[in-house]
Copies of this chain bind each other. A is one copy, B any other.
Amino acid sequence: MSAPGLTTVSEAKAFGGKQFVYTHRSEETGTEMRFAAFLPPQADKMDVPVLWYLSGLTCTEENFTVKAGAQRVAAELGVALIAPDTSPRGDEVPDDPDGAYDFGLGAGFYVDATEAPWSAHYRMRSYIETELPALVGQALPLDMERQAITGHSMGGHGALTIALRNPERFKGVSAFAPICAPMRCPWGDKALTGYIGPNRAKWREYDACALIEDGARVPAIFVDQGLEDGFLEGQLKPELLEAACDAAGIRLSLRRQPGYDHSYYFIATFIEDHLRWHAERLGF
């Protein structure tokens, strides 16, 4: 499908629908940005609801698209899948000075950076919250009144915080092994210090638990977490999300899955449950 404002990188038929990778110029990041879009067969005839999927550290738009096997159920349910990249890219974009995997390229953390040199390009919050939805809403056959969001690890953090800040926009939010409280783990501490600076009060809008403590509400959250996930205790901390939701009266369905790790095999195993959960909430 040719789409105004988008350049097609690749397209392939899958499960009766079409898997696209698009690129476009982003005003927010000041770079070319790539994203993947799966359009189910129903999109030939009508605008379809959208599930956003935000990826984790080191990922691009490709990981979920190639590894999760989500297209099968998306085609059955008639929902589009949009999988953005995880950071700006390009020679002009600064990276972690040590080339670490958890900051800089592939690690945008879904924030609008305020600290130099990151603030020039690292604007993944506004890119995902505002620019990309406006673009795909115009260019693709999507029903933007029916959006849901999910993500993995750093992308689970992104999904939770974006949904908590925009409850009117997203009819459902779920996550796979999310970073539940970036203010209280090493990954988040490094990222928020770097991108936002030392004032921890400014970090709160990028921490799902702090957002909930500060009054943000969504009707329900669905989380899967593998119990053999090597990042569970040190970085992910679902027990903090559980406590925050308990205190706030948010219905959290947190499934602790014995034997599963942090990989896409874990996501592939449970993505169908997430799609069907979102379908019930969005009525698709």
List residues of A whose CB falls within 8 A of some B CB.
Answer: 12-16, 19, 66-67, 69, 71-72, 226, 228, 259-261, 263-266, 268-269
Which of B260, B266, B268 sits near A69, CB closer than 8 Å?
B268
Chain B neighbourhood of A72, CB < 8 A: 69, 268-269
Contacts of A226 in B (CB 8 A): 13
A-B contacts besides A12-B260, A13-B226, 12 pairs, CB < 8 Å: A12-B261, A12-B265, A13-B228, A13-B259, A13-B260, A13-B269, A14-B265, A14-B268, A15-B268, A67-B67, A69-B268, A71-B265
Number of copies: 2
Q: Is the CB of A71 within 8 A of B14?
A: no
Measured between beta carbons, the chain B residues less than 8 angstroms from A259 are: 13
SS class of chain A's interface: helix, strand, loop or mixed?
mixed
What chain B residues lie within 8 Å of A269 (beta carbons)? Answer: 13-16, 72
Measured CB to CB, the nearest residue on chain B to A67 is B66
* A102–B67 CA distance with the chains assembled, in angstroms: 25
Contact at B265–A19, with CB atoms within 8 Å? yes
Q: What are 15 contact pairs spanning A and B, CB under 8 A?
A: A12-B260, A12-B261, A12-B265, A12-B266, A13-B226, A13-B265, A13-B269, A14-B266, A16-B269, A66-B66, A69-B69, A69-B72, A69-B268, A71-B265, A72-B268
Task: Please indicate the chain B residues that have their CB under 8 angstroms from the CB of A14 in the complex.
Answer: 265-266, 268-269
Q: Which residue of B lies closest to A14 (CB)?
A: B265
- Residue ID in chain B nearest A262 by CB atoms: B12
Indicate if the CB atoms of A261 and B66 lie closer than 8 Å. no
List the B side residues contacting A13 at CB < 8 Å: 226, 228, 259-261, 265-266, 269
In this complex, which of A15, A19, A69, A226 has the most chain B Cβ atoms within 10 angstroms of its Cβ?
Answer: A69
Find the B residue at minimum CB distance from A68: B69
Asked whether B268 lies within 8 Å of A71 as measured between CB atoms, the reply is yes
Pairs of residues from A and B, 9 with the lowest C-beta to C-beta distance, nearest first: A69-B69, A14-B265, A13-B259, A12-B265, A13-B260, A12-B263, A15-B269, A12-B261, A66-B67
A260: B residues at CB distance < 8 A: 12-13
User: Which residues on the B side are within 8 Å of A69 (C-beta)?
Assistant: 69, 72, 268
